[in-house]
C-alpha cells in the first residue's frame, strides 16, 4: 500500500484511489438559450430530504456550468446500464451531444428517454470547491426509471449486481 507513496505524485495516487470508488453516472442537463446542453457527471449525490436537495460538482471549465448559472435550473438523468454510449457522447465538448438522442422538456430542462432515474432542480446555491463548483439544487420533479443504473469503476462502465439472495426460510 505504501510502496509507491513516495515516487508517485499525490495527485496521481488520489486519482487512482478514486478510480477504485464505484460511482453512478448521470447526464446533467440545462439550457443554453434555446439549445439543450448536457454533460456526463459522476460527482452527484442526494443532499437533503427536508427540503429535497441534490448536489452536483462541475469543473470550472464546464460549458454546462455556465448554462446552469444562466438558466437557474438543471436536470439529473441517472443513466441506465445500456446507456454507456450516451455517457461517452456527453463526456465530450461541443454542441452536437444531443444529435440522435431522444429527449423531452420536463420541468424546464432536458430529460433523456429511458433513463434509470430523473430529478429536476432549481439552483439554490453555488459553492466553490477547489477547481470545481458544487451546485446545490432544490428538487422540483423526481421519477424512478425501470432499468439497473450505469456505474463507473476502474475507468470502466458496468452496473450493480446484488450478492446472491439468501434462501428464504423453509425453502428447499
Ligand atoms: C464517467 C465520467 C464521469 C464524469 N464526471 C464528471 C463530474 O462529476 N464533473 C465534471 O465536471 N465532469 C465530469 N466528467 C467530464 C465531463 O463529462 C467532460 O469534461 C465534458 O466534456 C464537459 O462538457 P461541457 O464543457 O459541455 O460541460 C466525467 C466524465 C466521465 C466519462
**What is the three-state SS of 38-103?**
EEEECCEEEEEECCEEEEEEEECCCHHHHHHHHHCEEEEEECEHHHHHHHHHCCCCCCCCCCCCCE
Q: Is the CB of 74 inside a 6 Å radius of any atom of ligand 1? A: no
For residue 6, the model assigns a pLDDT of 66
Q: Is the CB of 62 inside a 6 Å radius of any atom of ligand 1? A: yes
Model confidence band, residue 171 (pLDDT cutoffs 50, 70, 90): very low
For residue 172, the model assigns a pLDDT of 43
Model confidence band, residue 7 (pLDDT cutoffs 50, 70, 90): confident
- Rounded mean pLDDT of the chain? 93
For residue 166, the model assigns a pLDDT of 63
In tens, the pLDDT along 49-94 reads 999 999 999 999 999 999 999 999 999 999 999 999 999 999 999 9
Enumerate residues 6+ apart whose C-beta is below 8 A from 27: 38, 39, 40, 41, 77, 79, 86, 87, 90, 112, 115
How far away, in angstroms, is 86 Cα from ligand 1 center?
Answer: 12
CB contact at 8 A, 59 and 39: no
Domain ranges of the chain: 22-42+61-119+142-159
> Into which CATH architecture does domain 22-42+61-119+142-159 fall?
Roll (2.30)
In tens, the pLDDT along 91-103 reads 999 999 999 999 9
Query: What is the mean predicted confidence (pLDDT) over 115-140?
Result: 98
For residue 169, the model assigns a pLDDT of 57
For residue 72, the model assigns a pLDDT of 98
For residue 21, the model assigns a pLDDT of 97
Using the predicted structure, report yes or no on whether residue 164 has a pLDDT greater than 90.
Answer: no
How far away, in angstroms, is 14 Cα from ligand 1 center?
Answer: 18
Q: Is the CB of 57 inside a 6 Å radius of any atom of ligand 1? A: yes
CB contact at 8 A, 159 and 79: no
For residue 74, the model assigns a pLDDT of 98
Give the DSSP H or E segment for 129: strand 117-129
Using the predicted structure, report yes or no on whether residue 2 has a pLDDT greater than 60.
Answer: no
Amino acid at each position: 500500500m505504501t510502496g509507491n507513496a513516495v515516487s508517485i505524485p499525490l495527485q496521481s495516487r488520489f486519482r487512482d484511489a478514486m478510480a477504485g470508488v464505484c460511482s453512478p453516472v448521470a447526464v446533467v442537463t440545462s439550457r443554453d438559450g434555446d439549445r439543450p446542453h448536457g454533460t456526463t457527471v459522476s460527482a452527484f449525490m442526494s443532499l437533503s430530504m427536508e427540503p429535497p436537495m441534490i448536489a452536483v460538482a462541475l469543473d470550472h471549465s464546464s460549458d454546462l456550468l455556465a448554462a446552469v448559472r444562466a438558466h437557474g435550473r438543471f436536470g439529473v438523468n441517472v443513466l441506465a446500464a445500456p446507456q454507456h454510449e450516451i455517457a461517452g457522447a456527453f463526456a465530450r465538448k461541443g454542441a452536437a451531444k444531443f444529435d440522435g438522442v431522444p429527449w423531452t422538456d420536463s420541468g424546464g430542462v432536458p430529460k433523456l428517454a429511458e433513463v434509470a432515474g430523473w430529478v429536476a432542480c432549481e439552483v439554490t446555491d453555488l459553492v466553490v470547491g477547489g477547481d470545481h463548483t458544487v451546485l446545490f439544487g432544490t428538487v422540483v420533479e423526481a421519477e424512478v426509471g425501470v432499468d439497473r443504473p450505469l456505474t463507473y469503476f476502474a475507468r470502466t462502465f458496468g452496473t450493480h449486481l446484488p450478492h446472491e439472495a439468501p434462501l428464504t426460510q423453509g425453502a428447499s
